[in-house]
Homo-oligomer: A and B are copies of this chain.
Amino acid sequence: MQQSFRSFTSVADVPDVAQLLQEAHEIKKQPLLHAALGKHKTLGLLFFNASLRTRISTQKAAHNLGMNVVVINVGTESWKLEFDDGAVMDGDTVEHIKEGAAVLGQYCDILAVRAFAGLQNREEDYSEPVLNSLMRYAGVPILSLESATRHPLQSFADLITIQELTASKATTTRPKVVLTWAPHPRALPQAVPNSFAEWMRRADVDLVITHPKGFELSEEFTHDVPILYDQDAALEGADIVYPKNWSPYAHNYGAALGSAWREYAAWTVNAQKLARTNNAKVLHCLPTRRNVEIADDVLDSTASAVIQEAANRVYAAQTVLKRMIESLS
């Protein structure tokens, strides 16, 4: 019997990752096999932040299942939301999430939401105010399209891609997957690396994380994953390399590097670095800053699998939506 789940916000919502992956590969082979499953079901996509891949791949996944989709850009199309319990709302927030979420739950069978970390206040970000308010008040299953601390659909698509890329390698050992910090002028959330770490720990891979001192992620996500400060050593023999910037978690939470990113230019992943690997394929959630995070000589080479990875976002979303629809009845 297939597992089903109501909400999908972290790998903890998935009882059996291997089974979910198997289903994703099957859906990729026949994406229109369940084209009537979601008929007359409404998926609401709630964007607090910009989105390209997520916006379109999730719509496509829903269409493949026959669902209706409504998109809400919260900032430009709707009302500024209040999240504080007991607030006297005489400032610039117009609607409390208690009403906003409950109303959306009346119109949508499943609510999907993107709400990035603000990177001003670590405790607030890691309490997931938007996601948890929706979970609490909407009354319908919630699908995370990247929250303050996690990006589970991305990690699921990453894992689908890693399986595809390593299946063809004639090897009896688990693939070595290296998540490497890479420079970036702006402050980015830790959501992608956090999720990547917790998904890879549930998968049949050997994960290594490498980053400069000071960029440690929360141990809640990394647990016992080996962490190296020497990128070259980490890349040795890698099958998969995942370069990704994130801003500091432990100290100077969310600080941007600005032009000081150049002090970390040695961390940019380029072809020369890949020479140390086991003919590794390179993944990235995208968007990526060319020649800052990853060099042209990687992205424009056959080592890059970022487009295949992006394509798999459809099947990750579709697999999860299929399970959520099944859990509705």
Q: A52-B100, A307-B99 are in contact. Are A107 and B286 (CB under 8 A)?
A: no
CB of A181 within 8 A of chain B?
A: no
Binary contact readout A92-106 vs B (1 if CB under 8 angstroms, 0 otherwise): 001110111011101
Residues of B within 8 A of A63 (CB): 40, 42, 68
Q: Tell whether, in the assembled complex, residue B73 and residue A106 are in contact, meaning their CB atoms are under 8 Å apart.
A: no
**Bound complex: CA of A89 vs CA of B296, how far in Å?**
11
Instruction: Assess the A55–B40 pair: CB atoms within 8 A.
Output: no
Partner-B contacts on A (CB < 8 A): 32, 35, 40, 42, 44, 47, 50-53, 55-57, 59-60, 63-64, 68, 70, 72-73, 76-79, 82, 86-91, 94-96, 98-100, 102-104, 106-108, 185, 259, 261-262, 286-292, 296, 299-300, 306-307, 310-311, 314
Q: Which of B88, B108, B307 contacts A102 (CB 8 A)?
A: B307
Q: Which residues of B contact A296 (CB under 8 A)?
A: 86
Tell whether, in the assembled complex, residue A99 and residue B56 are in contact, meaning their CB atoms are under 8 Å apart. no
A171 to B42 alpha-carbon distance, docked (Å): 38
Task: Tell me the bound Cα distance from A106 to B161 in angstroms.
Answer: 14
With A90-B292, A259-B90 already in contact, the answer to whether A107 and B306 are too (CB < 8 A) is no
A292: B residues at CB distance < 8 A: 88-90
CA distance A291 to B262 in the complex (A): 50
Flag if A290 contacts B50 (CB, 8 Å).
no
- Which residues from chain B contact A314 at a C-beta distance below 8 Å? 106-107
Picked from B32, B40, B70, B306, the residue with its CB within 8 Å of the CB of A99 is B306
Chain B contacts of A70 at CB under 8 A? Answer: 55-56, 59-60
* Residues on the B chain within 8 Å of A57, using CB: 107
CB pair A76–B78 under 8 Å, yes or no, is no
CB distance B78 to A50 under 8 Å? Answer: yes
With a cutoff of 8 Å between Cβ atoms, the chain B residues found around residue A87 in the complex are: 290-291
Docked-complex contact B52 and A310, CB < 8 angstroms: no
Does B78 contact A288, Cβ atoms closer than 8 Å?
no
B103 and A310 form a contact (CB under 8 A): yes
The listed residue (B32, B55, B288) touching A95 by CB distance below 8 A is: B288
List the 3 shortest-distance A-B pairs measured between CB atoms, nearest first.
Answer: A95-B287, A106-B311, A89-B289
Of A51, A104, A289, most buried by chain B (CB within 10 Å of CB) is A289
Residues from chain B with a CB closer than 8 A to the CB of A73 are 76-77
Q: In the complex, what distance in Å separates the CA atom of A63 from the CA atom of B70? A: 10
Q: A91 — which chain B residues lie within 8 A by C-beta?
A: 185
